[in-house]
Structure 1
Amino acid sequence: MSVMSTTLDADLCAAAQAHPNIALIKYWGKRDVPLNLPVVGSLSITLDTLWTRTTVRFAAELPADRLRLNGREDAKQLRKVSACLDLLRARAGTGLRAEVTSYNNFPTGAGLASSASGFAALVLAADAALGLGLPPATLSEFARRGSGSASRSIFGGYVEWALGDRVDGEDSVARPIVDAAAWPLRVAVAITSTAEKAIGSTEGMNRTADTSPYQRAWIDTQEADLAEARAAIAARDFERLAAISEFSCLKMHALAMAARPGLLYWNAATMAAMHEVRRLRATGVPVFFTVDAGPQVKAICLPSAATQVAAALREIPGVLNVLETGLGGPATRIAVADAVAA
């Protein structure tokens, strides 16, 4: 793999790696679509072995921004990428266009938070290329403008994205609450489809907000869910975290299913995997599930159960693959050569 130009100006080129995150207390709904301001706070874990690696090069000879995602030009995502880069260009006082090359080592646009890791890596790489040195909270804010959940992928471990109350959104940023090493859970991701989901998250959130009769209840009960999850994490209480995480997951999907027309992100293998996780837990295996806006099932477990959980998920008809990972660290700058060789 190679970038589109072989003449890289070290002062205006940088690369970064970021990891996707999965929300245990779900984010669903925007109170301001252009700013990606949420209607509820959320809490997530950052994954380890799944990553996005992104190179950003600003150059005077570029007439417009370019984006190559997984080796292909991506006009669909370019508008959002350019809008996000505009935030950093404005801060740097430059009009230079950028060449962006990005790779994911996991399915893109399929309910595995590729936009979260993608925009976190983009913001960090652009910040480094422009020499801005922005603080983590600002990086989180700018990443949120590209994709809401990207605000959380700036950080590692257990992360909470604050609802905030400012109209400009400057206080709606994420913050780390517990390091990955402090409670090193494991995650088995059951891939039940590699196709891009038919209804994207933003469209799904807007439809839900406009038509679901459960929207008000979703908003009114979220703070109690967050408080419960914080307490479970602080106490390292796995059973308590399992209960509130599955509750939040099923509540989010019930909210979306009640939209008109209803949003059905699951397939048969998704359902089978969720039932298998509950069967395992009933036999004493420490594991619970969560599912984002897509068909993939994330089974979170204690390290002692990781091999058993992954093996059980692999036996389910319709499960194409199982990705095993631990909890990961924050978005980091990497050498351009490492990103190119991804």
Structure 2
Amino acid sequence: MGSSARKKKEKKKDFQKVKLKVGKTKQKADNFTDTSFKSKSIVVNQQSLTTSAPSSTSQFAHYLSLASSSRSDTQRRDALSYLTTQVSSLPVNEALPLPTAVLLPKLLPLILDGSSSVRTQLLKFLRLLPYADIGDRAESALLYTRAGMTHLAADIRTDALAMLEWLLEVAQEDVITCAGGWVKTLNCFMSMMGWAVSSGSTKWTSASKASFGKAGKSLPRQLLVLAQFLRAGLVETESEAVLVDGGMFPLWGVERHMIPSRSNAFAHLNLFGSSRDEEGEMYIDREDRQRIFHKRYQAAVELGIGNAKKEAGEAGRAAAVLTKVLRDGMNDYVGIDDAQ
């Protein structure tokens, strides 16, 4: 009997309300852990501390690695932003932390990056590089630019046009005269704008596409960039006009006998390289570029210009600019029989 009475008393304790006295704190739980202690030091295992901070060059190389290899879009963009800030803050005529020959191979693949913010930040950084260092690497830059011009994503194609505009601004002659720079780039324009016509034995041809919807908004931009490219390759410059006229007596053709200003001036002869086809050839002379343009592209371009003018508006105005460039660049062309 005594044990049962004790059990009933213990059960009543579970339902009894504890009366709190004024001025006293609530009773602490059984699993309460006291965290009021203070520590004078924190020890971290495998901690590495150095008295000297990393150099600016090593930091620059670290962020370059992040920009080129990070899987995070935000991290790539922020790394490019850091590189842009560092280069823009350099004093005038001070060398870059890393040479352009190291920077471009790592950053040029970002032309095809899926993030629009990364591509925009990339172009901001490239505009800060010395112009003299871009010409010798125009061929490799054009490889990624042409890949972007024929990309499936419309945004990447548009940004690739901005990249081509920058190349024409800083290294115009190298862009149009490097191996494949003239024909392969024109092929990309024809494919991107839907002006390409098949030259095979099949009866199927790819006619000019209608520029409605999202594609129609980018057509005026494509026409204007194509006009810049054709102006660089077809329109005669002042220096070329002096060479044709002969100069002032008795100084005739002096430029032809001076030391070339470009590196590897005889690369177009391809003396020791593998054989090139018509697309991969270097077209140094304006007459050669006129000939290949007349042979392969002029008819398709004129047809596309006519269709663009029918749409009027912004596309029509851009087509008028392209018409003027085409007239200035081909008005003095004399046809050459390629069969000879």
TM-score (norm. length: structure 1): 0.25
Q: For CA contacts below 8 A with separation 6 or more, give which structure has more relative contact order.
A: 1
Return the structure number with greater strand share: 1
